[in-house]
Amino acid sequence: MSCSLLIITLKENILTLESPHSQASEVLTSKIPGVSVARNKLAERAKEDVLVFMDDDIKPDPIVWEFIANVEPREILMVEGYRHPITRIMALHKETFNDIGGFDENIRYNGEDLDFYWRALDKGYIISTIPKCLVFHEPHNKSNFAKYHFESAYTRIKHGRMSLDFFVQTNPLIAILRLAGYIYHSIRKGMK
């Protein structure tokens, strides 16, 4: 099986490319700001039927390619996350990606994986996961901490999946960021 390996990066040295990726017939990278926009543009350019999105700061175990080689047409392969699968690695057929509608380009930096996951489930797709232990992930700079919690409100409002537990946190800063995001995105949604 051959696939298109799609990586969004602003880096010169891409950790992901240090891992074997022989099943990829093409490797496309994008430096377009905004995760969702960049991933959609890469998917448009891809020549293969199977799309494999990978973050630029991971090093997958070679066995991950066995999971990817077996992805079925109505299946989406993602990395297991804490509460939901995440797109550190995501493999799926291009037709599936297009049917779901790609990534929501209103989500620039965080929450695009949760949004994609919910839309895939709503359309009846099968979600399979790669064990997190098979994907080394470079430690993150926490500079996008505020963006993550602020933007996560957008995804929950969009899907009508807002609940009190989203705001109740042991960290008051997280609760404030989420509340601010909720108010901001509720107002924006009302203006459309």
Distance (Å, whole) CA 31 – CA 12: 10
Coil, strand or helix: which one is 144? helix
Q: Per-residue pLDDT tens for 69-97?
A: 999 999 999 999 877 898 999 999 999 99
Q: Check whether 3 has a pLDDT greater than 70.
A: yes
**Per-residue confidence at 153, pLDDT binned at 50, 70, 90?**
low
> Which one is predicted more confidently, 3 or 156?
3
The dihedral sign for the CA sequence 128, 125, 155, 97: positive
Q: What share of the chain is helix, strand, coil (3-state, %, to 5)?
A: 45, 20, 35
Distance (Å, whole) CA 54 – CA 163: 31
Q: Per-residue pLDDT tens for 32-57?
A: 778 899 999 999 999 999 999 998 88
Q: What is the mean pLDDT of residues 149-160?
A: 68
Q: Where are the domains of the chain?
A: 3-137, 142-191
Distance (Å, whole) CA 19 – CA 108: 27
Question: How many CA atoms are closer than 13 Å to the CA of 125, on its beta-carbon side?
Answer: 28
Alpha helices for the chain (secondary structure H) = 35-45, 64-69, 94-100, 112-122, 145-158, 164-167, 172-191
Kind plus residue range of the DSSP H or E element containing 90: strand 86-93
**Per-residue confidence at 183, pLDDT binned at 50, 70, 90?**
confident
Distances (CA, A) of 43 to 17, 74, 120: 18, 17, 17
pLDDT score recorded for residue 137? 84
**Per-residue confidence at 23, pLDDT binned at 50, 70, 90?**
confident
pLDDT score recorded for residue 95? 97
Q: Check whether 9 has a pLDDT greater than 80.
A: no
Query: Which of 3, 90, 18, 27 minimizes the C-alpha distance to 58?
Result: 18
Arithmetic mean of pLDDT over the chain: 82
Coil, strand or helix: which one is 146? helix
Q: Check whether 191 has a pLDDT greater than 60.
A: no
Q: Check whether 115 has a pLDDT greater than 70.
A: yes
Architecture of domain 3-137: Alpha-Beta Complex (3.90)
